[in-house]
């Protein structure tokens, strides 16, 4: 199996949001390396550009910039096509973002995730960290562009799940919720 980890490190991701994403991915990393003998883990970070990186860079490098989510999905597809044929590999992915995305990128994200990635993958989990899960002036903030785009995809694909995480106390329960079913099927 291969697990592709996609993390938004753009300027809209505050340090607190990046911390939530990193905590989620650290928990996922520990879970995978303790549970499975043969698992490749691919790390992809993105701003307006995406890049496959090593584990240390994924968790510790500081970058900033705009947000174009499709670049991360394109990088995932590139890596899968080059090294992880679905005929020989079980493909899983987890993505963390604050949901901010260049508005004109939504259709491309929908096409890539719904049309190309999910047909190849056994499971894809998306967590949205930060402001969307909190209240602003006593009222819930509206859904982000990415949440709206992904909600439409979730309705059509059983192998896609999405959750929100507002603070570190929610990391483990959300992780358990997202991956409990996958443990049953493994």
Question: Can you tell me the mean pLDDT for 4-31?
Answer: 90
Retrieve residue 114's tokens: 């719904």
For residue 37, what pLDDT is reported? 81
Confidence of residue 38 (pLDDT cuts 50, 70, 90): confident
Residue of 56, 54, 59 whose CA lies nearest to 7: 59
Q: Distance between CA atoms of 68 and 105, rounded to whole angstroms?
A: 7
Q: Is the pLDDT of residue 54 over 60?
A: yes
What is the average pLDDT score of the chain?
88
Each residue's pLDDT tens digit, 92-120 = 999 999 998 998 999 999 999 999 999 99
The two beta strands, 135-136 and 139-140, are antiparallel
Q: Is the pLDDT of residue 130 over 90?
A: no
pTM > 0.75: yes
Residue of 92, 77, 79, 170 whose CA lies nearest to 129: 170
Q: Is the pLDDT of residue 138 over 60?
A: no
Q: Distance between CA atoms of 57 and 50, rounded to whole angstroms?
A: 13
For residue 183, what pLDDT is reported? 44
Question: Can you tell me the mean pLDDT for 33-55?
Answer: 91
Each residue's pLDDT tens digit, 139-178 = 566 788 899 999 999 999 999 999 999 888 989 999 988 8
For residue 185, what pLDDT is reported? 46
Residue 105's SS3 state is helix
Confidence of residue 12 (pLDDT cuts 50, 70, 90): confident
């Amino acid at each position: 199996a291969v697990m592709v980890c996609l993390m938004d490190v753009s300027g809209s991701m505050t340090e607190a949001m990046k911390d939530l994403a990193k905590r989620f991915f650290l928990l996922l990393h520990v879970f995978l390396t303790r549970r499975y003998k043969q698992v490749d883990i691919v790390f992809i970070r993105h701003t307006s550009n995406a890049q496959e990186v090593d584990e240390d860079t994924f968790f510790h490098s500081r970058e900033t910039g705009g947000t174009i989510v499709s670049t991360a999905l394109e990088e995932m597809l590139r890596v899968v096509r080059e090294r992880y044929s679905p005929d020989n590999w079980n493909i899983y992915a987890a993505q963390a973002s604050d949901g901010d995305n260049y508005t004109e990128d939504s259709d491309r994200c929908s096409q890539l995730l719904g049309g190309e990635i999910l047909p190849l993958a056994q499971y894809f989990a998306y967590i949205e960290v930060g402001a969307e899960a909190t209240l602003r002036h006593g009222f819930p903030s509206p859904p982000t562009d990415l949440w709206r785009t992904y909600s439409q995809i979730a309705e059509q694909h059983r192998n896609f799940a999405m959750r929100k995480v507002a603070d570190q106390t929610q990391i483990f329960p959300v992780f358990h919720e997202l991956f409990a079913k996958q443990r049953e099927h493994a």
